[in-house]
Amino acid sequence: DAGVTQSPTHLIKTRGQQVTLRCSPKSGHDTVSWYQQALGQGPQFIFQYYEEEERQRGNFPDRFSGHQFPNYSSELNVNALLLGDSALYLCASSKARTSTDTQYFGPGTRLTVL
Amino acid sequence: GQQVMQIPQYQHVQEGEDFTTYCNSSTTLSNIQWYKQRPGGHPVFLIQLVKSGEVKKQKRLTFQFGEAKKNSSLHITATQTTDVGTYFCAGRGSEKLVFGKGTKLTVNP
């Protein structure tokens, strides 16, 4: 039973560039949430996708966008990268309409913006 | 918007000592979750509390949810070196799951 997978593991970009991060949810899960975790901080919610639509969004600018595919996998896109976008980007999957709310996190993508 | 505060930010203990981290939300929660993140790793789910006043135990870990469903605590009895990591609480309000900043636990053997 594969857990949540993310790619790439590490990425180095320069300011102004664009980046796409990818996530495959745990088998049986249909909901994907993306989080940004700066060094020494807790994960900050970016947005959540379910049934290929953005369902909830945190306090992130429009430069952050996403997509969910029919196989439930998801992408996070960040445009016009800023130095402050350097962080660990975590994908978490869950199953909608269940009694538990558990988020299963992937290993993350470490993004460095120079 | 909803805020989740967690204290202390850091805690260093001798192996065998107890450890407690506290979590407070600015709003009433539908549930609260606890996660552990090892150094260099990703958050791993520990437990979810839903009911007012709920107490759950996992071996040496005891989790409590306050009567008003706005605060929670995690207590570890007789810490071991394997307990090292950052413990996060995450509160679910009306919609989003909001994480605290975490308590980083180091254990001196």
Question: For residue range B44-56, what is the model confidence (pLDDT) as tens digits?
Answer: 999 999 999 999 9
Chain A residues touching residue B33 (CB < 8 angstroms): 101-103
* pLDDT band, residue B85 (cuts 50/70/90): very high
Summarize the confidence of residues B68-97 as an average pLDDT.
95
What is the tens place of the pLDDT at every residue in A4-62?
999 999 999 999 999 999 999 999 999 999 999 999 999 999 999 999 999 999 999 99
Which of chain A's residues have a Cβ under 8 Å away from the Cβ of B51?
Answer: none
**Residues of chain A whose C-beta is under 8 A from some C-beta in B?**
33, 35, 40-45, 56, 58-59, 90, 100-108
What pairing do the DSSP bridges indicate for beta strands B19-25 and B4-7? antiparallel
Tokens of B84: 């090292």
DSSP category for residue A99: S
Q: What sign for the dihedral angle of Cα A52, A56, A59, A62? A: positive
Q: Say what the pLDDT of residue A50 is.
A: 93
Q: What type of residue sits at position B85?
A: G
Is the model's pLDDT at A87 over the cut of 90? yes
pLDDT interval class at B94 (50, 70, 90): confident
Name every chain B residue with its beta carbon within 8 A of the beta carbon of A101.
Answer: 31, 33, 48, 92, 97
